[in-house]
Amino acid sequence: MSLDRGFFQLTLPYTWMGWVGWVIGVILLLAGILNPFISLVGLLVIALCSPGSLEADLHKVRKNAPQPESLEAEALNKGYSIDSWWMGRSTFTPTTDPNDWILPAPGPASWNQDQYLPHGDGSPLPEHPVNVGTPRPAVISTYGLMMITFVIGACIAAGFLISDSPTTTVEAADGTVTEAEDITWIAYIVLGVGLIWTLIGYFQYKMQRQMADTPTSLVRSVAVGNPELVGQVRPSRAGVLRVIVDGNSKRVIPNCVQFNWQYEVYICKEETDSEGNTTTKCHWQSVRSDSGAVPFILNDGTGGVLVKPSTFKRADLGNYLRRWESNHADSLLKEIGSEFAARLFTGGDIRKHRWTVYALRVGNPVYILGTTRSRPQEDVQNEGLDGTLQNTLLEVVGEDAPGIKATLHRGSELANLGKMRSAFEVMMVPLCLTIGGIIISLMNL
């Protein structure tokens, strides 16, 4: 498949949830014949449900690529399951993981006992940038086309709303005074959203350019400095983590090298306005969380190097690995305690409990931009390494350098760049909203 998508690419959803949203957006767009504002909502829904220009094709490659039995067995466990209908308990593991391997990856059965050694004949893994190159998304995809149309339409609609705002007439003793209702705040909201969106897009663009423009080093020839590395997570002498989420033995994630989990409750509260109307407002409230990491080996096929993930301030573990939901807490005591706390501090009641875990596990693809430095000689000797391989004398840590922000991502470079959008879609679309907000504000001064 071509990794350079040129100027325009029509993108369609590749998940059933995406298709449902996309169809709803098309219906709303057609309903805009009756009300133009409805069509704006339709444009926004279509844009948000449209994947990046490479996502759908990479998903097909991932789905059709043969995987080792050890990884295939894990894939069979993915999906939605009801643990207890009576208690309202369910478990969900995403069936489509955009951060997973796209091309076949070697399974544990084929690994060397010493993870620092080259894999097989020492050639880079199939998904290494040396083999696949660097993907370039289309300048404009379905997302960009729909979003830029939505932004232009929203700015025009905001301008008309302000200019055609209704007026109120006040009768005074000396005559009639007409006062226009002030809704110019709409212009400032448009401007504020545009500025925040542009700022977020700028940092996202910088991260994308850093990932795309930095050449990827091979582990066997890596030197002290700030290299970009892509490879497979393999266990180090530090071992792996068996994560027990929130202390419940039924919520266990094995073979982790880095993780974080969060326990949340869904709180609902009834509110009554001045006119006596009652509405129910609900939100997820975080209760507890935990995280941890152990050193691991990044092996790109040419060799392995020690990585210390706890030193990275920017670590993206991708989509959640597993989520558990329940209508009740783990025990009656916890149920009573959490309900009491919710009523005391929020005035609402708890409807659901949710535990979500994110993890980097053995066998996963990993992308790193960090700092390689010499390992302490004592550590090398404690591992029983003779130092004949250059990569055994180095370690990777998350220290920033001038112009370089150290990052760790679950997924290869192909997977991470494949789900990203072009500079036009990341920067120019929000910038257009900002410019529109400025124009509307100036017109109503």
Task: Confirm whether 252 is domain-assigned.
Answer: yes
2 within a domain of the structure (yes/no): no
Number of domains in the chain: 1
Please list the residues that pair with 350 across neighbouring strands: 267
Kindly state whether residue 21 falls inside one of the protein's structural domains.
yes
Could you give the count of Cα atoms lying within 13 Å of 425 in the half-sphere of its Cβ?
A: 26
Q: Are 234 and 296 in contact (CB under 8 A)?
A: yes
Q: Kindly state whether residue 1 falls inside one of the protein's structural domains.
A: no
φ/ψ (deg, to 5) at 186: -60, -40
Amino acid at 349: D
48 is written with which tokens? 């948000």
The verdict on residue 356 lying in a domain is yes
End-to-end CA separation in angstroms for the chain: 53
Its pTM stands at 0.83
The sign one gets for the Cα dihedral 307, 308, 312, 318 is positive
Residue 3 lies inside a defined structural domain of this protein: no
| Structural domain range at position 174 | 8-443
Tens place of pLDDT per residue across the chain (445 aa): 678 888 999 999 988 889 999 999 999 999 888 888 899 999 999 999 999 888 888 888 887 876 665 555 665 567 777 777 666 788 888 877 888 888 888 888 889 999 999 998 999 999 999 998 888 889 999 999 999 999 999 999 888 887 776 555 555 555 555 555 666 788 889 999 999 999 999 998 988 888 888 889 999 999 999 999 999 999 999 999 999 999 999 899 999 999 999 999 999 988 877 777 888 888 899 999 999 999 999 999 999 999 999 999 999 999 999 999 998 888 878 878 887 777 767 778 888 999 999 999 999 999 999 999 999 999 998 888 888 899 999 999 999 988 889 999 999 998 888 888 999 999 999 999 999 989 988 887 6
Query: Mapping DSSP to helix (H, G, I), strand (E, B) and coil, where does residue 161 land?
Result: helix
What is the CA 153 to chain-centroid distance, rounded?
28
